[in-house]
Amino acid sequence: MKMLDTIKRSVLWRSIFRREYKDTPRNRALAIFGNIFMHLHPVKIRDSAVKLRYTWGMGGISLFSFIILTVTGFLLMFYYHPSVEKAFWDMKDLEFQVPYGIFLRNLHRWGAHFMVIVVWLHMFRVFMTGSYKSPRQFNWTIGVILLVLTMLLSFTGYLLPWDQLGLWAIVVGTNMAAGTPLLGFEGPFSEYLGITPYNDVRFAILGGSTVGGNALLRSYVWHCVVIPLVAVVLMAVHFWRVRKDGGISGPHSS
């Protein structure tokens, strides 16, 4: 008993557990203050916020699918080489040889489709309930950026199987980028900036003028590193902002 007390009084213990277990208002407040996740989450939730009919739970489901995609994506990275020679055959090996590989890949693929739909529905709900209005304008903007990031994740992930479907989707997609005004070589006014197929925005996306090994590698880096990191940071801001703006919006309080 005495030893336990000694441990609990030690600097190491107190640097990790910064409050007592005793249920006092102070300890409860400290629990919230000292925990990043609790900090992002509102302290109090209104009755209406948990009503499925009002919120549809779309924000939570979006987060949930993001977590599933992160976990499955992480596992897929163990079996995948972002190179022209190997990418497609790695897909095939996931299907035929890796235990539960096909399940893993399908979960990631369908989860990705699901997330895009859910994020759209989330936006739709927020719009229909007028939750974008003051004081939530800032968070709406963050949400819009998150929607764009979700779709970029979807787009960059499309190329990774290195099959015909993905290849041509990226060809079409990046050709659209080539039509960007000023920055795409096929876009209006680009000639005044001296834009050619070799220095335009499409070139930046593909790392070349056609879809090849560089495009695959770039897709991979954007898909697995950059966009998820940015999305995580923005999601943190998004959740924190919900709390700061007075919790999830509810039906007009009477």
Binding site for other proteins (CB under 8 A): 85-86, 89, 92-93, 95-97, 99-100, 102-103
Supply the minimum distance, in Å, between the C-beta of residue 172 and other proteins: 18
Cα-based angle 10, 11, 15 (whole degrees, multiple of 5): 120
Specify burial of residue 140 (Cβ count, 10 A radius: 0-12, 13-18, 19+).
middle
Of the pair 31, 67, the CB lying nearest other proteins is at 67
Q: How far is the CB of 88 from other proteins (least distance, A)?
A: 10
Nearer to other proteins, 161 or 184 (CB): 161
Among residues 153 and 211, whose Cβ is nearest to other proteins?
Answer: 211
- The minimum distance between CB 8 and other proteins, in angstroms, equals 38
CB of 92 to other proteins, least distance (A): 5
Minimum distance from residue 143 beta carbon to other proteins (Å):
28
Of 167 and 227, nearer to other proteins (C-beta) is 167
List of residues 6+ apart from 218 with CB closer than 8 A: 205, 206, 207
- CB-nearer residue toward other proteins: 142 or 248: 248
Nearer to other proteins, 51 or 243 (CB): 51
CB of 70 to other proteins, least distance (A): 20
